[in-house]
Structure 1
Amino acid sequence: MRKLRIGIIGAGGIAQSRHIPAFLKFSDNATITAVCDLNEETAKRAADQFGIQKSFTNYKDLFRETDAVVICTPNKFHSEITVAALEAGQHVLCEKPMAMSSQECEEMAEARDRSGKVLAIAYHYRFMKEAQAAKKLILANEIGQPFVARARAMRRRKVPGWGVFTNKELQGGGSLIDYGCHLLDLSLWLMGNPKETEVIGSAYNTLSKMPDQINQWGSFEHKTFNVDDHVTAYIKFANGASLLFETSWSANIESDEESVSLSGEYGGIDLFPFRMNQSKHGMLLNTQPEWLPGEDDYALAQTQNFINTCLGREEFMVKAEEALQTTRIIDAIYKSSETGEREQF
């Protein structure tokens, strides 16, 4: 069977550190045939470093060499390039978040429907072994229907000072749209993606605007910092469930924290580290697994799932409609923060 020809659009850090190395490990089924970046030097350097035959500065030129593309550009260009790629007959793996707005996400999904091609969104936290184990136990009804979720994606003084992470025009936001979206998406997926009905949120950029502050991840201009560095939200769903959410690049906490916790009718599950908590047989039971199945490198698991989906062997784990919901809630959090009112659906 002919190998799937892969093109990389956007040859910066995430492409070189995650996606290109991951696809190179599946050379039996896929080969990277081209790379593209607006910066010609960046494209050529990535091609030379990884032995990729062709490099381009116009992504449309790349389509002649590929069957599927991975979009690693700033968020502003996700929708435009995805729609163009799908209309050119390409399968697409688009970096998270799906797009800058839910409207753009809908345009991407419509292009997928017209093309009949795969549209996958790279919410890679779902591929972690802990996430897979939690989903398996929830589907087996071990904790019953989850009715409360708590998610925290917290970094201590780690604003990414490189690239375009603090550029609101190119990214659409800061800690929420870049980092917190992973834990938000994961929580929604574990809850079964119930329909949201109400969102109240607050977005702050107070900490990073203060002068003479320590930042562990490079320097940035605090005077012009205009994206969120700390966000809180409370989300209600049509099935009565609720989600308490917090994320930060700049928190004054003891250490970084990533946590997702779900409470169900019969028990609860904590991730990172993984534990199931139950009250049964007259006992309070806390169960920690000795071993979890799955791939330690979740980037590899995501890449293999995408390749197999394009080859018709399985379905991609992150459906576009689910990623659209994550963006829709992100939109609502930002809007609620701006207006001071709760957003209702």
Structure 2
Amino acid sequence: MHKVKLGIVGCGAVTQIYHLPASRLLSGAKIEALVDLDLNLAQKLCSKYKIPYCFNDYRKLFGLVDGVIIALPNKLHASTSIEFLKERIPVLCEKPLATSAHDAEEVIKTSEKFKTPIAVGLIRRFYTSSRLVKFIISKNILGKIYRFEIEEGIVYDWPTISGFYFNRLASGGGVLMDTGSHVLDLVLWWFGDNVINFDYKDDDLGGGIEANSELNLVINYKGDQIEGTIELSRTRRLRNSYKIFGEKGWLEFFPFDTEKVQLNLKRKQQHGMIYDKKLDLGGGKRNIIYYFYEQLKDFVQVIAGDKASPYVDGKTAYQTVKLIEACYNKKQNIPMPWITNGIN
């Protein structure tokens, strides 16, 4: 039986920590080649994972692989994806799909023109926990939803190899472009993309990248308005949970737990007293490597023709890119009282 041959472009942290270990779980596909400008790094990884080919030019993958994973600095996502799509090679592009809405649109247009799928690595969509939240919302278990509160922040410790995260030209932005791609993707997936109002603040004073950001927004969901707050940080440990409030109760989602959701349902007792019934849903033992495997398996099924489209395709990922760009365009500064030069 023919195994789907995959190439990976970019041998940085996400490839080493997630994609390569996850690829070992695949039965219907194999990694055929690695590409990195640091050929020595690619060769070491090829030796470790018994991968036949390594190159420092991704164009050498043309005609060699059935699909490709793009794990390059953000600024290169769109242009590199377009080159492979023009060769009719399916693409799984790490998030974000692009650093601008225009570039994301060009990727989607190319995918449609050459009838070649584009998948986007918004891995949290695959989590059991995020699917549970989607189910709870879609089944109206919380009743009418009126608010959500999101906090996600740690002291930044990602073992970046290229360091592109700290260069705005290469990254396209800071914590909003990075963590925010995951967060906003889930919000728009759960509630739809009809954002009717928002205001955005961060701590970049011009030309750099933001380490802290705050977003307030209003989403029209099934005719009702849901107000939400999102606080993100690369310098502080925040609560690291997403709370969603409805008329029948509330839930809490934990972004660093791929399985668990806490559901709190209101129930009436004697004398009109209302109590919360707390339910811990999910709670399995699968780690994030498993979900990278699920993402790869989904991509391989599309390449093999077993699925019509990826679980997360370019069109849905585009909505997040568009909202992030709108936030940056409308940006104000977070109040910083220690600055007295009139910026705030």
Query: TM-score, normalising length from structure 1?
Result: 0.84
Q: Which residue of 1 aligns with 2:3?
A: 3
Q: Which residue of 2 aligns with 1:211?
A: none
Q: Which residue of 1 aligns with 2:257?
A: none
Kept in 2, the 8 Å contact 1:138–1:145? The answer is no
Q: Which residue of 2 aligns with 1:335?
A: 329
Q: What does 1:213-232 align with in structure 2 at a 5 Å threshold?
A: 226-232=208-214
Q: How big is the shift at 1:180?
A: 2.6
- 1:133-152, Cα deviation, whole Å (9 max, x unpaired): 11122222212354422222
Choose from 240, 255, 268 the match for 1:258.
240
Q: What does 1:39-54 align with in structure 2 at a 5 Å threshold?
A: 39-54=38-53
* Partner SS state of residue 25, structure 1: coil
Q: How big is the shift at 1:160?
A: 6.2
Q: Which residue of 2 aligns with 1:170?
A: 170
Quick one: distance in 2 between partners of 1:245 and 1:290? Answer: 24
Q: What does 1:67-86 align with in structure 2 at a 5 Å threshold?
A: 67-86=66-85
- Letter of the structure 2 residue corresponding to residue 269 of structure 1: L
Q: How big is the shift at 1:32?
A: 0.8
Choose from 319, 325, 330 the match for 2:319.
325
- Letter of the structure 2 residue corresponding to residue 284 of structure 1: Y
- Letter of the structure 2 residue corresponding to residue 7 of structure 1: G
Q: How big is the shift at 1:338?
A: 5.5
- Letter of the structure 2 residue corresponding to residue 180 of structure 1: G
Choose from 277, 293, 311 the match for 1:286.
277
- Letter of the structure 2 residue corresponding to residue 325 of structure 1: Q
Q: What does 1:38-117 align with in structure 2 at a 5 Å threshold?
A: 38-117=37-116
Quick one: distance in 2 between partners of 1:181 and 1:189? Answer: 12
Decide which moves more: 58-67 or 133-142.
Answer: 133-142
Aligned residues: 318
Q: Which residue of 2 aligns with 1:127?
A: 126
- 1:174-224, Cα deviation, whole Å (9 max, x unpaired): 111112321221122122x23222221112147xxxxxxxxxxxxxxxxx9
- 1:53-88, Cα deviation, whole Å (9 max, x unpaired): 111222121122111100000001000011111111
- Letter of the structure 2 residue corresponding to residue 310 of structure 1: I
1:186–1:127 CA distance, 2 compared to 1 (3 A):
same
Q: Percent identity?
A: 25
Q: What does 1:237-256 align with in structure 2 at a 5 Å threshold?
A: 237-239=219-221, 240-251=225-236, 255-256=237-238
Kept in 2, the 8 Å contact 1:153–1:180? The answer is no
Quick one: distance in 1 between partners of 2:170 and 2:87? Answer: 24
* Alpha-carbon RMSD: 2.5
1:245–1:44 CA distance, 2 compared to 1 (3 A):
same
- Letter of the structure 2 residue corresponding to residue 98 of structure 1: L
In structure 1, the gaps of 5 or more residues are: 207-223, 341-345
Q: How big is the shift at 1:165?
A: 1.2
Quick one: distance in 1 between partners of 2:286 and 2:174? Answer: 29
Query: TM-score, normalising length from structure 2?
Result: 0.84
Decide which moves more: 305-314 or 129-138.
Answer: 305-314
Quick one: distance in 1 between partners of 2:97 and 2:156? Answer: 26
- Letter of the structure 2 residue corresponding to residue 182 of structure 1: H
* Partner SS state of residue 250, structure 1: coil
